[in-house]
Amino acid sequence: MSGSLSIFRNTTAINSLFKKSDFFLKLLRSNRYEGLDETTHDNRTWEGANKLTLPSQSFTYLIAYAQEKGLLKVSFETTCEEFLGKHDIVKFEENRLTFNGNEISYYHYVCNKNNEIFKLPDWEIVPQKFYVTETGFYQFSPSFLKNCIHLLRKSMGWFENISMRILKRFKIWI
């Protein structure tokens, strides 16, 4: 289950599945926000735990329970990416989206967008080819960016080295 994209067949059984929750009436009667989301903010399944170990008011639990009872056919296959780490790259090219070379359905940047260095695009027209890294959306290859950063660091090291030689030669101390 993914809160950002879940596809269901439009049947009475599916449409009334939420009523199977022991907490359904409690949720309706509550004066405060009560979520019947995919995991009720329990991260155990993202760490590999069985979905039936989730709280029974989570929608993922309800789906997994219905599947175990033979009421539904379910796929819990992950076809999206929600977090990009230091070396991860999402690439859009030829109408295909890939994550580290593997095709995905979409990139949901929920985990990266709150990072202060994450750059959202301001493109008026979406380019035919672009990349997304942990720092944002780009029209040029991340390997090009890495090379630029490497050259900049190398040149700064060279500049610092020359500066120190000049300061020492003229006995100027900082």
pLDDT in tens, 94-122: 999 999 989 999 998 888 888 888 888 99
131 CB-near residues (< 8 Å, 6+ apart) = 89, 90, 91, 92, 137, 138, 139, 140, 141, 142
Q: Residue 38 above 80 pLDDT?
A: no
pTM greater than 0.75 = no
* Local structure of residue 3 (DSSP, 8 states): S
The SS3 assignment for 101 reads coil
